[in-house]
Amino acid sequence: MPSEPIEQTHADLPVIEVWKKALMLPVNYAPTLIRIGWAPALISFAVMAGVRLLTFEGIIGRGGSFWLYLIVAIVFTPFSVGWTQLAINGQDSVARRAPFTFGRTELFYLLAMIAQQLVWVLLVLPALLVYYAQQNFEPTLMFDGVILLLALFIAIVIGMTRTLYIFPALAVGRYQGIGAAWRQSRCSFERLLTLELLARAPWAILIALLSGSVFDWSPLAAQLTVTVFVSILAVLEEATSVGAIALAWRWRIGESGQSK
């Protein structure tokens, strides 16, 4: 039976249904989650604990968070790829996957993620324009700068959301370019953005609450204890987030690999 025209199915993404399935993935595949998730959890704990220890001792400043983010992004890449494969192709697809597998697929996935995040650098120019206008008391220039900053921010959010399908496509070896991902997400920007926010929100709130429960002057033991739980929650957040986008992509593409 021929597939339906793309334009007729873009806006039909069942956000709540996909979100619920993504939330249940860590429960339904708990042994697999532990098997391929313990490595990034342990490494991220070691990195975060190291940063907290060095910050606690005054050896580094709070700027160490940048390197923390970069290292954690790298160590989570194999898990993200493996969990995406599980969500799309089932548990058998990762049955032989090692806890820390880093090959060509993972490298391309990481590069795509870094490239997507680097787009935020574009906000520097209008931010500098606003700062310059503020320092020189130029309200007209400041207004233009704020409008440009807001417009660019919205454009980046739209672009990042519309290209989310790049990641599941890369993970399962079906990447066909940015144009294909853009077409596949046509007319579903709001649904994809909502799905991404829903998938991360529960874990992000818990992480924020836990992280906010300790301060620089808190006992080191308390900081390290919180870091343990934050590392576990980070794995659950990543699993739910990449699982949601992977399930949405599978729904959009279908089992046959053809667009609906």
Q: Is the pTM of this model over 0.85?
A: no
Q: For residue 99, is it within any domain?
A: yes
- Tell me which residue of 95, 12, 94, 88 sits closest to 244, measured CA to CA: 88
Taking every pair of C-alpha atoms in the chain, what is the biggest distance, in angstroms?
Answer: 66
Contact between 256 and 100 under an 8 Å Cβ cutoff? The reply is no
Three-class secondary structure of residue 247 per DSSP: helix
Q: For residue 1, is it within any domain?
A: no
Could you tell me the residue range of the domain that residue 52 belongs to?
Answer: 6-253
Q: For residue 260, is it within any domain?
A: no
Signed CA dihedral, 168, 35, 105, 231: sign only: positive
How many domains would you assign to the chain?
1
Q: For residue 186, is it within any domain?
A: yes
Q: For residue 13, is it within any domain?
A: yes
Q: For residue 258, is it within any domain?
A: no
Q: For residue 204, is it within any domain?
A: yes
Encode the chain (260 residues) as per-residue pLDDT tens digits.
Answer: 333 333 344 568 899 999 999 999 999 999 999 998 888 888 888 887 777 676 655 555 555 556 667 777 888 899 999 999 999 998 888 888 887 888 899 999 999 998 888 898 889 988 998 888 888 888 888 888 899 999 999 999 999 999 999 999 999 999 988 888 888 888 888 999 999 999 999 999 998 888 877 776 667 777 788 888 888 998 999 999 999 999 999 998 864 344 44
